[in-house]
Amino acid sequence: MAFAVLFAIGTGVLSADPQQYEGRTITAIEFDPPLQRQAVDPAELQSILPLKVHTPLHLSDVRKTIERLYSTGRYQDIQIEAQPSGSDGVSILIKTKNSWFIGRVSVDGKIAEPPNEGQLVNASRLDLGQPFNQSDVQAAQSKITHLLVQNGFYESTVNPSLEYSDVAQQVNITFHIRTGQRARFWVPVITGDPQLPEPKIIRATHWKEFLRNKWRPITLARVRQGLDGVRSRFQKSDRLLATVELKALDYDAANRRATPHLDIQAGPVVTIKPVGAKVKRKVLEQNVPVFQEHTVDPDLLEEGRRNLQEEFQSKGYFEAAVEYKQEPPLKEKEEIDYVITPGERHRFVKLTIEGNKYFTTDAIRERLFLQPKSFQFRHGRYSEAFTRRDEQSIANLYKSNGFRDVVVTAETQDDYLGKKGDVAVTLKIVEGPQYIVSNLKITGNHLLDLKGILPTLSSAEDQPFSDFNVATDRDSILTYYFENGFPNASFEYSTSAGANPRLVNLEFRITEGNRQYVRQVITSGLVHTRPQLVDKNITLSPGDPLSPVAMSEIQKRLYDLGVFARVDMAVQNPEGNLERKYVIYNMQEAHRFSVTAGFGAQLANIGGSNAADSLSNPAGTTGFSPRVSLDVTRMNVFGLGRTVRFSSRYSSLDTRGLVDYLWPKIFGRPKLDAKFSVLFDDSHDVRTFAARREEASFQLTDRFSKSLTAFLRFTYRNVNVSNLKIAPELLPLFSQAVRVGILSVNFAQDRRDDPTDAHKGMYNTLELGIAPKQFGSSTGFASVLARNATYHPIGKKLVLARQTSFGVEPAFSVQPNADPNDPIPLPERFYAGGASMRGFPENQAGPRDLSTGFPLGGSALFINNTELRFPLFGENIGGVIFHDFGNVFDRLSDLSFRVHQRNPQDFNYMVHAVGFGIRYKTPIGPVRVDLADSVNSPRFNGFGGTYQQLVQCAINNTCVAAPQRVSRFQFFFSIGQAF
C-alpha cells in the first residue's frame, strides 16, 4: 500500500493548492541556481527576502518575495516551489531566471562616412547598462537602417548578433552592416507655389555640382543644408514666410538615385523697413525676430518694437519711441513699417547711488548696465530696459544677503544742471532690515556625516537669511549626498520666527533614501590595451559608495590615457531596487596609427644664397620657403598607452627627422610624463652657418596644477657647423664640432584664457640650463631664459598684449682654443628676430661678424613686444599695431637701452620697430601678416665679393668693406599670434 502511494507521487506533479502550506514552518530555503550563483549579491539577497527559515510560511510573504526579487531588476522570471518537510514543515525552492543588460554596442562592416560608427551606435538607442529586451534589438535595427537610408544607403543591410556574458549579465550587441553604394540626388520635383524658377531653386540646394554637372551623393547633412539653402534664397528676396518641405525622397534602385519631392510655398514678399530713422539692415535683422522665426505674428512684431526701442535708447536716444504699422497684404506683398521717433540725442552724464550702507557704491556699480558717458560709451549707456534690469539686479543682490524687504527705485533727471540733453539717474535704495539666521537645525542625516560640508553652508547661524542662500545650500547638500552614494536624497526646509522679527529659525530636513554601493567595476572593449593600464585608473572598489563624481573622474582619466576614442560609463540596472550595483565602463580603442602630412610656407626676409662661397645678403632678402612635413604616430605601444612618433620636416632652410617615445604617467604618477627623443637636424636658419645636429634627450614633465608645468630635460647633442660666413681668422675657432650635454629645467605657467589667441591672462616661462664639461660639453656654460607675457582686455573688443624676454648665457669653462671673449659656441648662442622681434629678419638680431656682416648671436638677450589687438572686419579679421624693441647682446655687461648705434661695429643697443598686422582667424589659430618699420635698424660692414676673395684680401689686409644696413622694412607671414 505504502509502496503504491509512493509510486503514484513519483510519477507526476500533484496540482498544488498553495493554501495547504499556509502556516507551516519553513525548514529550508534553497535557490536554483544556487545562492552563490544568484544574480543578486548573496548577503543582500538574504536581507531583502521576507521568507525566513524557522518561521511560518505565509502566501502573502511568497508574493512579497517574488515582488522584491523582481524589483531588483536582475531577474526576468521567478517561481517559488514548496516541498513538505517533516510532519509540519515545508522547504522552499526559489527558482530564478536572470535578466540581461545592455553591454557593448558596436557596428562593423565597411562603412563610408557619413554616418560614422559613433553615429550608428548612437542611433540604436541601446544604452549601456539598461535592461535588455529582444524587441529593442529589432527597434535598433530599424533606427540604424533609417539613418543609413537618410544618408543615401538605400540598399543597406543590418544584421545584429548577440553575445551573452554571464559577467554582470551583459549582452554585447554587434550590428553587421553592409551599406552598399550611396545614392545620388536627382532632379527635384517641386510642387506648391515656389515663385522662383526651378534652376534657381536647384542652385540654392547645392545638390548639383555645377562645374561637373553631376548630382552629389546624398547625405543627411546635405539634405538639410539644401533645404536651408532654399530658405535663405527666399529670405534674401524678402519672402520671410516661405516654407520649404521635403515630402519624400523616392529611390530609383535601377539608377541608384533618389528624387526629392519639395513642397514650396513662397508666401508674400514681406518688407520690413524703418521709417523716421536710419537702421542698418543687419541691425534690423538682429532686433526683429520675424527674420529668424519665418513667421509674422503680433508677438514677434511687438518684440521687434521693444528691441529697436532699446537699441536707440542705448545709443543716447533716451526718449526714442517705436511703433509698428502692418499694412494688409496686397498682391503678395506685405509691408511692415517700424515708425521710429528717436527724439533728441542725450548724454547720460551722471549716475548716483543713494541709500546703500551694506554694500559699497563700487560693489554695486560693477553690476550695473547703466554707464555714464566715458571713452568707451560716448553718450553713456542708458535705456529703460537697462534701468529696470539694474533695479532688479541691485534688489537681487540685497535679497540674497538677507534684505528681503529692499526697495530700489530709479529717478531720471533730464537736462541735468540746466544743460540740454544731459541726463542723470539716481538709484535710491531703501535697504530695510536684514534678516539673520538665528538657529540652523539639520535633521534626517542619519547615515552621512555632514561635518565636512557644514562650514560651507551659506545659511549658517548669524549669517543673512535668504531664499537664494537656502537654494544654494540645498544644492550643496544634495550634491554631497549624490557624491556619497545617495541618489534619491531629498531636501525640504521650513522657517519660524526667532526671538525678534529679524531673526529666523531655519530647519533643513533631509530624507536620505537608500545608499547605493559599488558591487563591482566591469570594463570591456580592450583589444590591444593591457588591462593593467586601465585597472590603475579605476579608483572605485567594491563596497565604495556609488558616486557619480568618482565615476566621471575615472572616465576622464581613461580619456587622458589617449588610447581610447570613446569611453562610455553607466550604472547597470539604475532603476533596480538594489543597494549594490555594477559600474560599467565600455571602451573603444582609437586607431593606433595616424599619419599627418602638412605643407606650409614662410614668406619673409629669409632669402639669399646658402652657398659656402657666397657672402651676399648677410641681412637676408625676400625669400619664400615652402615646407612639407610628415608625421607618423603609433599610439598605445605595447598596449600600455605609450606613443612612438616620427616627425619629419623638409624646407629650403631646414631638414629634420625626429623620433619621440612618450611614456605618460611614468612610475605610476598620474601627472608625470617622460619622453625620449632622437633628433637629426640639418638647418640653415641662421644665415651665418649651416648646422648639422645630432641630438638625444630625455625629458620628464610634471604638471603641478592646471596652469603650472615643469620640464626636466637632459640633452646631449653634437653639432657640426659648415659654410661659416665669418672672418677667416675666426674660422678655426668656430668650425670645430660642438658637443653639448645640458641639464635644463623649464617652468611654464599658463593662465591664458585661450592659448591660440589669448584675450586675458598671462603666460610665464623660465628655463635654466647648465652644460658643464662633466656632461660632455666642449664649453661649460649656463643658460637662463625668462619670458613674461600678459594679456589685458580693453572694453569688449580690444586686447593689449605684451611680452618681455630676458636671457643670459654665462660661460664658466672655456675650451682651450676658443675665443675667451666669445666662448659660447655659435650654434648655442641666442638668436632673435622674426616673430620674436619684428625689427629684424629671422635670427638676424645682435652682434655681427665685422668682416662679413653675418649675424653671430650673443650671450645676452632682452626683447619687449607690445601689441594692441582689435577687430577689423567682422568676426574673423582682426588687426594689430605693435611696438617691438630689444636686441641680442655680446654679453650681459653689454646690455644697453641706448637707441643710437655708435658705429658700424656697435650692435649693443636697443632696436625699435613699429608696425601693423592683419590676423585672419582659422580653426587652428590666426593667420598672421605683419609689416614692421625698424626705425633704427643697424648698419654694418659686409663684403662685396666671395669668401675666397675675402680670404685673399685678409692676408694682404686689403679688404674693402661694403657698408650695408638691415632693411628698415620687414614683413612676416605665418600662423599663430606672434606671442
Partner 1 sequence: MRLILITMLLAATCPAELLDRVAVTIANQVITQNEITDEIRMNAFLNSEPADFSQKSKQAAADRLIEQKLIYREMEMGRYPPASSQEANGMMDKLEKTRARSQGEFEKAMKAAGVTVDQLRDHLLWGLTLSNFIDLRFRPGVQVTRKDVQEYYQNKILPSTKPGEKPNLADVRAQIEQTLTAELSDKQLDEWLKDAKSRAHIEYHKEAFEAPAQ
* DSSP-assigned states of every residue in 218-262: P-HHHHHHHHHHHHHHHHHTT-TT-EEEEEEEEEETTTTEEEEEE
Q: Does 5 bind partner 1 (CB under 8 A)?
A: yes
* CA 865/CA 972 separation, integer angstroms: 15
DSSP-derived letter for residue 20 is G
Asked if 334 contacts 271 with a C-beta cutoff of 8 angstroms, the reply is: yes
Q: Does 34 bind partner 1 (CB under 8 A)?
A: no
Pick 76 or 697: Cβ nearer partner 1 = 76
Q: Does 198 bind partner 1 (CB under 8 A)?
A: no
List the one residue out of 860, 856, 857, 845 whose CA is nearest residue 809.
860
Kindly state the smallest distance separating residue 17's Cβ from partner 1, in Å: 6
Sequence-distant (≥ 6) Cβ neighbours of residue 454 within 8 angstroms:
442, 460
| Residue choice 4, 14, 330, 597 for contact with partner 1 (CB under 8 A) | 14
Asked if 402 contacts 415 with a C-beta cutoff of 8 angstroms, the reply is: no
Kindly state the smallest distance separating residue 70's Cβ from partner 1, in Å: 4
- Distance (Å) of CA 190 to CA 128, 193, 514: 44, 9, 61
> Which run of H or of E encompasses 492?
strand 490-497
Asked if 660 contacts 631 with a C-beta cutoff of 8 angstroms, the reply is: no
Pick 10 or 923: Cβ nearer partner 1 = 10
Asked if 264 contacts 201 with a C-beta cutoff of 8 angstroms, the reply is: yes
Asked if 683 contacts 653 with a C-beta cutoff of 8 angstroms, the reply is: yes
Q: Does 78 bind partner 1 (CB under 8 A)?
A: yes
Long-range contacts of 14-23 (CB under 8 A, 24+ apart): 16/82, 18/59, 18/62, 18/82, 19/59, 21/57, 21/59, 21/82, 21/90, 22/57, 22/58, 22/59, 23/56, 23/57, 23/58
* CA 895/CA 812 separation, integer angstroms: 19
Task: Find the binding residues for partner 1 in span 80-109 (CB under 8 A).
Answer: 80-87, 92-93
Kindly state the smallest distance separating residue 81's Cβ from partner 1, in Å: 4
Kindly state the smallest distance separating residue 666's Cβ from partner 1, in Å: 47
Q: Describe the crossing of helices 467-483 and 548-560 by its angle, rounded to 10 degrees.
A: 70
Pick 87 or 958: Cβ nearer partner 1 = 87
Kindly state the smallest distance separating residue 6's Cβ from partner 1, in Å: 6
Pick 79 or 392: Cβ nearer partner 1 = 79
Q: Does 133 bind partner 1 (CB under 8 A)?
A: yes
Kindly state the smallest distance separating residue 794's Cβ from partner 1, in Å: 55
Pick 143 or 428: Cβ nearer partner 1 = 143
Only one of the segments 9-17, 201-209, 310-318, 376-384 lies at the binding site for partner 1 (rule: CB under 8 A); that segment is 9-17
Pick 14 or 254: Cβ nearer partner 1 = 14
**Is the sign of the CA dihedral 475, 480, 481, 485 positive or negative?**
positive
Asked if 555 contacts 569 with a C-beta cutoff of 8 angstroms, the reply is: yes
Pick 6 or 899: Cβ nearer partner 1 = 6
> Which run of H or of E encompasses 286?
helix 281-287
Q: Does 16 bind partner 1 (CB under 8 A)?
A: yes
Sequence-distant (≥ 6) Cβ neighbours of residue 463 within 8 angstroms:
402, 436, 437, 469
Q: Does 209 bind partner 1 (CB under 8 A)?
A: no
Only one of the segments 1-9, 298-306, 545-553, 807-815 lies at the binding site for partner 1 (rule: CB under 8 A); that segment is 1-9
Q: How many residues bind partner 1 (CB under 8 A)?
A: 40
**Is the sign of the CA dihedral 883, 889, 891, 894 positive or negative?**
negative
Pick 73 or 833: Cβ nearer partner 1 = 73
Cell numbers at 99, concatenated: 535578466
Quick note: the x/- pattern for partner 1 over 548-587, rule CB under 8 A, is: ---------------------------xxx----------
For 249, list phi and psi in degrees, rounded to 5. Answer: -125, 100
Pick 88 or 475: Cβ nearer partner 1 = 88
Kindly state the smallest distance separating residue 576's Cβ from partner 1, in Å: 7
Pick 9 or 211: Cβ nearer partner 1 = 9
Pick 78 or 782: Cβ nearer partner 1 = 78
Pick 487 or 871: Cβ nearer partner 1 = 487
Kindly state the smallest distance separating residue 87's Cβ from partner 1, in Å: 8
In the three-class reduction of DSSP (H, G, I as helix; E, B as strand; rest coil), residue 470 is classed as: helix
For 703, list phi and psi in degrees, rounded to 5. Answer: -95, 100
Only one of the segments 64-72, 630-638, 839-847, 905-913 lies at the binding site for partner 1 (rule: CB under 8 A); that segment is 64-72
Q: Does 70 bind partner 1 (CB under 8 A)?
A: yes
Kindly state the smallest distance separating residue 26's Cβ from partner 1, in Å: 11
Asked if 231 contacts 244 with a C-beta cutoff of 8 angstroms, the reply is: yes
Pick 87 or 817: Cβ nearer partner 1 = 87
Kindly state the smallest distance separating residue 53's Cβ from partner 1, in Å: 16
| Residue choice 79, 142, 774, 876 for contact with partner 1 (CB under 8 A) | 79
Pick 9 or 960: Cβ nearer partner 1 = 9
* CA 946/CA 930 separation, integer angstroms: 33
564-587 burial, b at 16+ Cβ within 10 Å, e below that, comes to: beebbbbbbbeebebbbbbbbbbb
| Residue choice 33, 42, 53, 77 for contact with partner 1 (CB under 8 A) | 77
Q: Does 9 bind partner 1 (CB under 8 A)?
A: yes
Kindly state the smallest distance separating residue 95's Cβ from partner 1, in Å: 9
Asked if 427 contacts 352 with a C-beta cutoff of 8 angstroms, the reply is: yes
Only one of the segments 8-16, 487-495, 772-780, 834-842 lies at the binding site for partner 1 (rule: CB under 8 A); that segment is 8-16
Only one of the segments 6-14, 158-166, 688-696, 914-922 lies at the binding site for partner 1 (rule: CB under 8 A); that segment is 6-14
Q: Does 138 bind partner 1 (CB under 8 A)?
A: no
Q: E strands of 728-837, at which residues?
A: 738-750, 761-771, 780-794, 798-808, 811-813
* CA 304/CA 284 separation, integer angstroms: 9
Only one of the segments 56-64, 355-363, 405-413, 848-856 lies at the binding site for partner 1 (rule: CB under 8 A); that segment is 56-64
Quick note: the x/- pattern for partner 1 over 262-301, rule CB under 8 A, is: ----------------------------------------
Cell numbers at 508, concatenated: 533643513
Q: Does 6 bind partner 1 (CB under 8 A)?
A: yes
Pick 22 or 228: Cβ nearer partner 1 = 22
Only one of the segments 60-68, 495-503, 672-680, 901-909 lies at the binding site for partner 1 (rule: CB under 8 A); that segment is 60-68
Pick 134 or 532: Cβ nearer partner 1 = 134
Q: Does 492 bind partner 1 (CB under 8 A)?
A: no
| Residue choice 26, 62, 168, 686 for contact with partner 1 (CB under 8 A) | 62
* CA 529/CA 533 separation, integer angstroms: 7
Cell numbers at 744, concatenated: 635644463
**Is the sign of the CA dihedral 815, 817, 822, 826 positive or negative?**
negative
List the one residue out of 107, 70, 99 whose CA is nearest residue 168.
99
Q: Does 67 bind partner 1 (CB under 8 A)?
A: yes
Pick 577 or 813: Cβ nearer partner 1 = 577
| Residue choice 28, 53, 59, 248 for contact with partner 1 (CB under 8 A) | 59
Q: Does 817 bind partner 1 (CB under 8 A)?
A: no
Only one of the segments 12-20, 485-493, 498-506, 891-899 lies at the binding site for partner 1 (rule: CB under 8 A); that segment is 12-20
Interacting residues with partner 1 (CB under 8 A): 2, 5-6, 9-10, 12-19, 21, 59, 62-63, 66-67, 70-71, 73, 76-87, 92-93, 133, 575-577
